[in-house]
């Protein structure tokens, strides 16, 4: 009998908690235009990119022109495909 009551209480708890969990939303994802942003803005927005790598992104952009594709970011020394993939939703080109 105790286990039946416990099961009912657990089920009710889950049902009552579900709407509360559904209302929690993530903060909007902040993006950065890597073709226009400063090194400081890039470093602040992208995960795993410090100021030195952000400066390398700006230098690459100045030497080679704007990035045509997000994957091109991996051409910058010190930035690999995993970093590009982790930041894909944060990167804007225009």
Other C-beta atoms closer than 10 Å to the C-beta of 10 total 10
Question: Radius of gyration (Cα) for the chain, nearest Å?
Answer: 22
Mean pLDDT within 19-46: 82
**pLDDT tens for residues 36-60?**
999 999 999 999 999 999 999 999 9
Measured torsion, CA atoms of residues 76, 77, 82, 85, in degrees rounded to the nearest 10: -10
> Domains along the chain?
32-92 (1.10.150.320)
Mean pLDDT over the full length of the chain: 86
Under the banding of pLDDT at 50, 70 and 90, the label for residue 29 is confident
List phi, psi (to 5°) of 55. -65, -35
Please indicate, yes or no, whether the overall pTM of this predicted structure exceeds 0.85: no
């Amino acid at each position: 009998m105790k286990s039946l009551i416990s099961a009912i209480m657990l089920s009710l708890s889950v049902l009552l908690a579900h709407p509360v969990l559904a209302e929690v939303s993530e903060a909007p994802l902040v993006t950065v235009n890597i073709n226009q942003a400063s090194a400081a803005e890039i470093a602040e927005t992208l995960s795993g990119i410090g100021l030195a790598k952000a400066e390398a992104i700006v230098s690459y952009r100045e030497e080679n022109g704007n990035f045509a594709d997000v994957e091109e970011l991996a051409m910058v020394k010190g930035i690999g495909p995993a970093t590009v993939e982790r930041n894909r939703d944060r990167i804007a080109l225009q």
